[in-house]
Structure 1
Amino acid sequence: MAIESSTFSPHRAGARDFQRVEGDELIQRYPSLRDGSHLGAAEWLPVYYARSIPGGAVLREVYDEIKGRILDGLRALVAEAPLDGLFFDIHGAMSVDGLDDAEGDLIMAIREVIGADVLVSASMDLHGNVSDPLVSQVDIITCYRLAPHEDTWETRDRAIGNLVDALQAGIRPRRAHVTVPILLPGEKTSTRVEPAKSLYARIDEIERRPGIIDAAVWIGYAWADEPRCHGVVVVTGTDDAAISAAAEELGQAFWDVRDEFEFVGPPGTLAEGVDAGLAATDTPYFISDSGDNPGAGGTGDVTWTLAQLLADERLTAPDAPTVLVGSIFDAGALAQLRRYGVGDPVTVTAGARIDHGPHGPVTISGVLEGLYEGDPDAGGIAVIRVGGLRVIVTEFRKAYHAVEDFTAIGLDPLAAQIVVTKIGYLEPTLYEIQRGWTLALTPGGVDQDLQRLGHHRIQRPMFPFDRFEGAPDLTARLFG
């Protein structure tokens, strides 16, 4: 079960937010199982998988329903024959109403069904959180090594391969766990740039050491206010001394570069981004509406940025250059827009139905340039032309994080002067085509200014929130 949840977002993930996969479709989802490269002598049995795009905390009844489906599926399998291993595919930053450690709760419940002897291997996002219950119950645990996450499937395959290898070798690995008191947004810890680039580059050499199976560094998830939110290092292997030394080495390396983390893209205000984009001669110029990034947990309906764009006559004039704006969601607005035909003048009020803190709903008056149905995430989609602006209004939450998200609705980012989208660091296809970029420090549930959000439940002291009088305790603790 996978979702990244901002506890600062008023959105609540409901049943519709989760895509469900089971049966043979679940086996086919994983390349290494589909092509047989990690089958070995194993028989893979599908249980259940539910995944949502990032958002707010999950409604408790939805979590309980999905958890129940997973446990029922496991009970049915265990009743037929004992299990040897389990692949636990999670994100790691799921928040659930009423729980402080959702993944820990889930794996503890799973252990009650499958027993203590079944070997468990987990794949996680490096923006996940590794709690004591989680690391105590998962025998082999790994996470992405790239941000943006271009190694998502490689990481899952590694977790599957680690599981098969350990079962075939008849070993039960142990974990060395180091807590690193650092909490930073992903946009300051991208592996595209230093110091994260070099920090993660150390993993290959560590994994080649005798007695070590896997090494992983978690940046942690900054937009949840939970005690488990902080940096973590876990090294897995068969030699206690080797894994402990490696975990402490990586933990110290992480701590030593804490002051070097900076935004991966040029930060600035929205106004500075618009000025730079209009002045650009090499385009498209991208502006990240980072405070309301649905890919990190934002609601996707914060209107603060859209309101500023609509008030800028340089963008709304009839001869203004093309500026794509993705997006704002409002089911009621879509219902109204469906009454019109493409080419009709329209006026609709949209947004701020969930997160109305920074700005209220905005009125959009223009021409209906496109109307589309059937998007798996967005449902219905409308494009409204207001001078040079092409405002995307969706029925449900959707992240416009890839070129094809725009081209699917007739918008070509390459032909635009500016592309404004609710994102933090640019995902690969957008990064490839950008010719200039401002990471706009806008408000929302995933505000880059963590101090502005007001964490009060995280462990203290924590960098960069607090001063440290001395070095933190980076001693490895052994699990397993």
Structure 2
Amino acid sequence: MTLRVAIGGFLHETNTFAPTRATYADFVQGGGYMPMACGEALLTACRGINLGVSGAVAEAQALGWELLPLSWAGAIPSAHVTREAYERIVERLLQCLDQAGRLDGVLLDLHGAMVCEHLDDGEGELLARVRELVGPEVPIAACLDLHGNITARMVEKADVLVGFRTYPHVDMAETGRRTARALGELMRTEMPLTKAFHRLDYLVPIPWQTTDLEPAAGLYRLLTTQEQDEVLSVSLFMGFPAADFPECGPSVVAYARSQAAAQRAADRIAQAYAQAEADFAGCVYTAAEGIAEAQRLLSEGSRGPIVLADTQDNPGAGGDSNTTGMLRALVEAHAQGAALGLLVDPDAAASAHRAGEGAMIEVALGGTSGIPGDSPFPVTAQIERLSDGRLLASGDFYGGARLDLGPSACLRIGDVRVVVTSHKAQMADREMFRFVGIIPEEASLLVVKSSTHFRADFAPIAAKILICKAPGPMPFSPADLAWRRLAPGMRLSPLGRSFQPPE
């Protein structure tokens, strides 16, 4: 008999300290994800791109399952998901699920770090509502981001949670495939898996979580060695260290045919994470220091581009991608052959489109999110190129996603060029420079508003990568956030102080 599996998704990574909340319209538009899709349109829209749902659909179709598509929605990271957006999206997904008829399994593409205006644990609540609808016997599998803040309720309500193993997340589609295979095993044997769940005890700055570098690279290699014999799946979640609620933080989840096997696998990963604490370290620069270091390297013969990550305004961590600290530093240093992207300023983009290519305009760029130490940057700029903002992001992170950045422009200030857009998306693909005429391979300096995902497409051309701090809503170190509700005792950085709630 053909297996009938419902599939859908709802993704958001929430920075509770960020300035802007996620509305329903943000999920419709999709940001760096694909736009909202429902029913059969979901199966078409996700084809051939790097998303968990895409890999899950491809694997399910290869296995001959009958797929019952529900709804799928994702929005770029920001502050809390509004109550209206959450309830509206979940209601639609559950309505589709209720109409799906007999099911052998449910597969959900989630993030794992969603906080809403009215809920700390968006995914735990969704999984609980799905469980209530399908009953205790139908297995539920979820594909999750490496940055998931996994809660006890999520572990309880799902039969298996499977996390990404790369950061940059070049394996999103592959993780969807692994999730489908795990669900297939559950449906084949009709036997539940035992679970082992550990919450780990220190937070790591996002740039040092990259699996391109040690110690994270070794930790994720270790996962595959644990999946043998009775152990079906092991995931290490680094956690998203900007969600102020008690269950924020890293964790490990293991699934096996016996409790002893699950516990051994989870214990091994937890031990390795503890031993790696001192190795999560690296150099970080202020904006002026980073640009000075890049100019020094170039003067000594380094062939660009040197890539500088504006990590504290990363829209992939809740930033609005509009702070001006790095841009000011470039202009003040008279940087040559430099480009910055993306700077989200719909008013400036509209002004550029009214003036036309080749014109000079006076405009105050960015700085509108109320970030301490940041403000709009008045400039006189030449409009080099205009665009409608539609592009195909073909690098390994976006993996062929079609982005709509809205009316966009390349503005030139001296020898510094700025990609100004109307919609936000993380700068993680070289096409996000090329679509307005900037050839990234020919630049001397590239400033990217990203923490790590840019590495997937920019590391192959980078002479050097420098992590920089300018004023922004996502501090480099979690220790610099104004925590109030984090679990007591959680260390706020590797080898750092433990959190104690304010009195």
User: Does 1:400 find its partner at 2:412?
Assistant: no
1:131 counterpart (131, 151, 162):
151
User: Does 1:275 find its partner at 2:303?
Assistant: no
Q: CA deviation at 1:456?
A: 2.0
- Gaps (5+ residues) in structure 1? 316-320, 469-480
User: Does 1:244 find its partner at 2:263?
Assistant: yes
Q: Partners in 2 of 1:341 and 1:104 — Cα distance?
A: 49
1:411 counterpart (431, 438, 441):
438
User: Does 1:71 find its partner at 2:86?
Assistant: no
Q: Which residue of 2 aligns with 1:3?
A: 12
Q: Contact conserved, 2:372 with 2:471, CA < 8 A, in 1?
A: no
- Distance verdict in 2 for CA 1:147–1:36, change over 3 Å: closer
1:428 counterpart (437, 456, 468):
456
3-state SS in 1 of match to 2:174? helix
Q: Contact conserved, 1:185 with 1:221, CA < 8 A, in 2?
A: no
Q: Which residue of 1 aligns with 2:397?
A: none
Q: CA deviation at 1:39?
A: 4.6
Q: Partners in 2 of 1:228 and 1:31 — Cα distance?
A: 29
Q: Contact conserved, 2:60 with 2:180, CA < 8 A, in 1?
A: no
Supply the AA of the counterpart residue of 1:405. M
3-state SS in 2 of match to 1:233? strand
Q: Contact conserved, 2:312 with 2:471, CA < 8 A, in 1?
A: yes
Q: How does 1:250-269 map to 2 (within 5 A)?
A: 250-263=269-282, 266-269=283-286
Q: Partners in 2 of 1:161 and 1:322 — Cα distance?
A: 48
- The alignment's TM-score, normalised by the length of structure 2, stands at 0.87
3-state SS in 2 of match to 1:383? strand
User: Does 1:144 find its partner at 2:164?
Assistant: yes
State the Cα deviation string for residues 257-278 of structure 1 (Å, max 9, x = none).
Answer: 2121124xx4222112211222
Q: CA deviation at 1:403?
A: 0.9
Q: Which residue of 1 aligns with 2:221?
A: 201
User: Does 1:26 find its partner at 2:42?
Assistant: yes
Q: How many residues align?
A: 456
Q: Partners in 2 of 1:32 and 1:397 — Cα distance?
A: 25
Q: Which residue of 2 aligns with 1:177?
A: 197
Q: Which residue of 2 aligns with 1:295?
A: 316
Q: Contact conserved, 1:342 with 1:369, CA < 8 A, in 2?
A: yes
3-state SS in 2 of match to 1:429? helix
Q: Partners in 1 of 2:415 and 2:253 — Cα distance?
A: 50
State the Cα deviation string for residues 262-298 of structure 1 (Å, max 9, x = none).
Answer: 24xx422211221122231311011111100112221
1:304 counterpart (325, 341, 346):
325
- Distance verdict in 2 for CA 1:430–1:211, change over 3 Å: same
Q: Contact conserved, 1:87 with 1:160, CA < 8 A, in 2?
A: yes
Q: Which residue of 2 aligns with 1:122?
A: 142
Q: Contact conserved, 2:168 with 2:210, CA < 8 A, in 1?
A: yes
Q: Which residue of 2 aligns with 1:318?
A: none
- The alignment's TM-score, normalised by the length of structure 1, stands at 0.91
- Distance verdict in 2 for CA 1:464–1:8, change over 3 Å: closer
Q: Which residue of 2 aligns with 1:91?
A: 111
State the Cα deviation string for residues 360-379 of structure 1 (Å, max 9, x = none).
Answer: 11112111111111434421
Q: Contact conserved, 1:384 with 1:391, CA < 8 A, in 2?
A: yes
Q: Partners in 1 of 2:54 and 2:320 — Cα distance?
A: 32
3-state SS in 1 of match to 2:167? coil
Q: Contact conserved, 2:56 with 2:173, CA < 8 A, in 1?
A: no
Supply the AA of the counterpart residue of 2:323. V
- Distance verdict in 2 for CA 1:199–1:104, change over 3 Å: same
Q: CA deviation at 1:327?
A: 2.4
Q: Contact conserved, 1:3 with 1:93, CA < 8 A, in 2?
A: yes
Q: Which residue of 1 aligns with 2:373?
A: 358
- Distance verdict in 2 for CA 1:458–1:360, change over 3 Å: same
User: Does 1:14 find its partner at 2:23?
Assistant: yes
Q: Contact conserved, 1:305 with 1:442, CA < 8 A, in 2?
A: yes
Q: CA deviation at 1:145?
A: 1.0
- Distance verdict in 2 for CA 1:197–1:412, change over 3 Å: same
User: Does 1:322 find its partner at 2:333?
Assistant: no
Q: CA deviation at 1:467?
A: 5.1
Q: Partners in 2 of 1:137 and 1:197 — Cα distance?
A: 30
User: Does 1:445 find its partner at 2:473?
Assistant: yes
Q: CA deviation at 1:41?
A: 5.0
Q: Partners in 2 of 1:36 and 1:423 — Cα distance?
A: 31
3-state SS in 1 of match to 2:436? coil
Q: Partners in 1 of 2:201 and 2:61 — Cα distance?
A: 36
Supply the AA of the counterpart residue of 1:163. L
Q: Partners in 2 of 1:331 and 1:467 — Cα distance?
A: 41
Q: Which residue of 2 aligns with 1:345?
A: 360
Q: Which residue of 1 aligns with 2:307?
A: 286
Supply the AA of the counterpart residue of 2:157. Q
Q: CA deviation at 1:32?
A: 5.0
1:372 counterpart (387, 392, 397):
387
Supply the AA of the counterpart residue of 1:75. D
Q: Which runs of 4+ in 1 moved over 3 A?
A: 30-41, 464-468
Q: CA deviation at 1:382?
A: 1.2
Q: Contact conserved, 1:55 with 1:298, CA < 8 A, in 2?
A: yes
- Distance verdict in 2 for CA 1:332–1:224, change over 3 Å: same
Q: CA deviation at 1:464?
A: 4.0
Q: Which residue of 2 aligns with 1:112?
A: 132
Q: Partners in 2 of 1:36 and 1:194 — Cα distance?
A: 31
Q: Partners in 1 of 2:90 and 2:379 — Cα distance?
A: 41
3-state SS in 1 of match to 2:149? coil
3-state SS in 2 of match to 1:150? coil
Q: CA deviation at 1:96?
A: 1.3
Q: Sequence identity, in percent?
A: 29
3-state SS in 1 of match to 2:316? coil
Supply the AA of the counterpart residue of 1:148. P
Supply the AA of the counterpart residue of 1:215. V
Q: Partners in 1 of 2:492 and 2:182 — Cα distance?
A: 35
Supply the AA of the counterpart residue of 2:224. D
Q: Contact conserved, 2:320 with 2:344, CA < 8 A, in 1?
A: no
3-state SS in 2 of match to 1:352? coil
Q: How does 1:147-158 map to 2 (within 5 A)?
A: 147-158=167-178
Q: Which residue of 1 aligns with 2:400?
A: none
Q: CA deviation at 1:423?
A: 1.1
User: Does 1:217 find its partner at 2:236?
Assistant: yes
Q: Partners in 2 of 1:153 and 1:365 — Cα distance?
A: 44
Q: Contact conserved, 2:203 with 2:478, CA < 8 A, in 1?
A: no
Q: Partners in 2 of 1:232 and 1:356 — Cα distance?
A: 31
- Gaps (5+ residues) in structure 2? 1-9, 28-34, 47-52, 391-402, 499-503
CA RMSD of aligned residues (A): 1.8
